[in-house]
Amino acid sequence: MQKKDTFFITTPIYYTNWVPHIGNSYSSIIADLIARYNKISGKKVKFSTWVDENSQKALNKACEQNMEIKPYLDMMALKHKEIWNWLKIEYTDFIRTTDEKHHNLVKEVLQKSFDNWDIYEWEYEGMYCVWCEAFKKDEDLVYLNKEKNVTFPISDKVKINENIIKVCPDHLKTPDKIKEKNYFFKLSKYENFLKEFYETHPDFIIPSDRFNEVKAFVSRWLEDFSISRETNKFWIKLPFDESQVTYVWYDALFNYLTVCQNWNEDFWPANLHVVGKDIIRFHGIYWPAMLKSAWYELPKQILTTGFFTINWQKISKSLWNAIDPVEFTKKYSKDLLTLYLLSSFNIWQDWDFDEKQAVLAYNAKLANNLWNLLNRVVVLSLKLSEKAWELFWEILTDKEEIVDLQKINNWLSKKVVLQEFEENMDKYDLKKSLEINFFTLDLLNDFITKSEPWQTIKQEEKTEETRQVLYIVAEWLRQVWLNLYTFFPEKITEMFEKLWLKNYKNILENWWFEELKNKVEIFKIIEKGNPLFERIEITKN
């Protein structure tokens, strides 16, 4: 089969003031499985990720640790790599924004925009939150009562004293006052362009609520934004004024283009940027304008994920309350994490991360539902015959004595399940995509319970009926596994093997998803083997 379209997907590049926490892992897990789904569906996939190194936060952190910046950044890049490898994030490309080829590209685009009269010099005075890497206006801040450790809006009438300070609401730190020469990007020039672009690309940002927020922001007032600083000799120098360096967002956003530089195939424009809601304005507004200014094509779509909290507190590298994804998956498993993150909440929703709920979801869906069904088929099949045993294909039509057979075959019309799964995957509704499969498993569980193969197996004259029930379940498991492979590739591969579906992983990774779905299979069960997805006991406390 010939590889057809290309698919280029990206994660945000993460700041290196800390190792990735569970929130960062969320974006990477989502991007990884969307990449895998496109790969098995026949596309040539490029998937880029990695680190955003040109940040004040990283400099502060290196300084805190008494380290030179370069060794510090090397160490952090390596730690990111280790974590993504541990979580089996199958990126094809990574980028460090200190790479020379990235510096060259950023200089090139800065020059293009400068030549296009989109970058100008201005003296800037303002408040800068290092942790957000952004200038803040008064209305962006909140009051913090240091004694009581509570915040309240600036609009509230309060008596100011030394215990009440203005802070960034996300980081609870006072922004620095900054007055210096800056270069600005003329975002205001692109207002009409952006409005028209949004109009003609109604799916540019998903979900639509976030898109509406972005559109509302653009229609209020677009301000030019600062793109350079005087400080720091380490970052990328502006090609037209070497006394200044660029800082977020030029050096960060153009990573997506740098990773496209090495390839013979042309992967730009990106098909999908996966970003958190915190950086949607930069991706949805600044980024298209910056690309347009430098004559590049615009990305096709941006998927915005919600944020989760831990004990209702914002997770943050600077507040030090994050869950370590490596520890968490060592304690449980990557599958448990993936299942919980994607099946319990819509990806665009905000929610609270709850370890106990994660275990409950795993027990209900993977251990009880998915594994139990396979286990039943395996055990019963082995009982049916002591020798190596095969379930052959039978056309199941008028076997009315099999309870609900008709119903199950109607509902489980392959077409419906396949279509629904694929439609939801194409919309990036990962929660629904998973639900369809677990619902199918629920129906199969009902079906097997009502058909009682453990009873019919005892009656010689019902051998054929038992075999057919088991065949239906095995075939439907196969269909569900083909869908779930995207989410849990390793365990599903092991499940395939249990039914003697050899080499499925290879076949899938070579773009035969559709072919496998339509194939008529012969199953063979020769041994019980190890359990997969075992129940986890919940300790009370």
CB of 136 to ligand ME8, least distance (A): 16
Contact residue for ligand ME8 among 7, 8, 9, 26 (CB under 6 A)? 26
- Interaction of residue 257 with ligand ME8, rule CB under 6 A: no
DSSP 514: H
* Contact yes or no for 514/42 (Cβ under 8 A): yes
Contact residue for ligand ME8 among 7, 8, 9, 23 (CB under 6 A)? 23
- In a 3-state reduction of DSSP, which class is residue 242? strand
* Contact yes or no for 404/450 (Cβ under 8 A): yes
- Interaction of residue 296 with ligand ME8, rule CB under 6 A: no
Helices (H), 243-322: 250-253, 255-258, 280-281, 287-293
CB of 428 to ligand ME8, least distance (A): 14
For ligand ME8, give the closer residue by CB, 17 or 369: 17
- Interaction of residue 342 with ligand ME8, rule CB under 6 A: no
CB of 76 to ligand ME8, least distance (A): 11
Interface of this chain with ligand ME8, residues 45 to 64, rule: CB under 6 A: 52
**Other Cβ atoms closer than 10 A to 123:** 8
CB of 430 to ligand ME8, least distance (A): 14
* Contact yes or no for 277/308 (Cβ under 8 A): no
Pick the closest to residue 40 from 535, 482, 525, 524 (CA basis): 482
* Contact yes or no for 381/391 (Cβ under 8 A): yes
- Interaction of residue 288 with ligand ME8, rule CB under 6 A: no
CB of 65 to ligand ME8, least distance (A): 18
Contact residue for ligand ME8 among 7, 8, 24, 105 (CB under 6 A)? 24
Rounded Cα distance between 295 and 290, Å, is 9
Interface of this chain with ligand ME8, residues 349 to 388, rule: CB under 6 A: none
CB of 407 to ligand ME8, least distance (A): 40
CB of 133 to ligand ME8, least distance (A): 8
Contact letters for ligand ME8, residues 300-329 (x by CB under 6 A): -----x-xx------x--------------
For ligand ME8, give the closer residue by CB, 240 or 307: 307
Rounded Cα distance between 511 and 277, Å, is 32
Pick the closest to residue 54 from 11, 9, 111, 95 (CA basis): 95
Binding segment for ligand ME8 (CB under 6 A), chosen from 142-150, 222-230, 248-256, 386-394, is 248-256
DSSP 11: P
- Interaction of residue 225 with ligand ME8, rule CB under 6 A: no
Q: In terms of DSSP bridges, do strands 6-10 and 272-276 run parallel, antiparallel, or are they unpaired?
A: parallel
- Interaction of residue 279 with ligand ME8, rule CB under 6 A: yes
Strand arrangement of the beta sheet that strand 119-129 belongs to? 134-136, 119-129, 176-185, 225-226
**Other Cβ atoms closer than 10 A to 352:** 12
For ligand ME8, give the closer residue by CB, 41 or 293: 293
For ligand ME8, give the closer residue by CB, 236 or 279: 279
Rounded Cα distance between 109 and 113, Å, is 6
For ligand ME8, give the closer residue by CB, 49 or 440: 49
- Interaction of residue 83 with ligand ME8, rule CB under 6 A: no
Contact residue for ligand ME8 among 27, 56, 333, 479 (CB under 6 A)? 27
For ligand ME8, give the closer residue by CB, 110 or 417: 110
For ligand ME8, give the closer residue by CB, 121 or 278: 278
Contact letters for ligand ME8, residues 123-162 (x by CB under 6 A): ----------------------------------------
Could you tell me where the beta strands, DSSP code E, fall in 130-250?
A: 134-136, 142-145, 150-153, 164-167, 176-185, 205-206, 225-226, 228-229, 237-238, 241-246
Q: In terms of DSSP bridges, do strands 302-305 and 225-226 run parallel, antiparallel, or are they unpaired?
A: unpaired
- Interaction of residue 12 with ligand ME8, rule CB under 6 A: yes
- Alpha-carbon dihedral of residues 27, 29, 31, 36, nearest 10 degrees? 180
Residues in the interface with ligand ME8 (CB under 6 A) total: 20
For ligand ME8, give the closer residue by CB, 24 or 468: 24
**Which amino acid, one-letter code, is at 346?**
N
Residues 6+ apart with CB under 8 A from 385: none
For ligand ME8, give the closer residue by CB, 118 or 251: 251
Which residues here bind ligand ME8, judged by CB under 6 A? 12-15, 23-24, 26-27, 52, 252-253, 255, 275-276, 278-279, 305, 307-308, 315
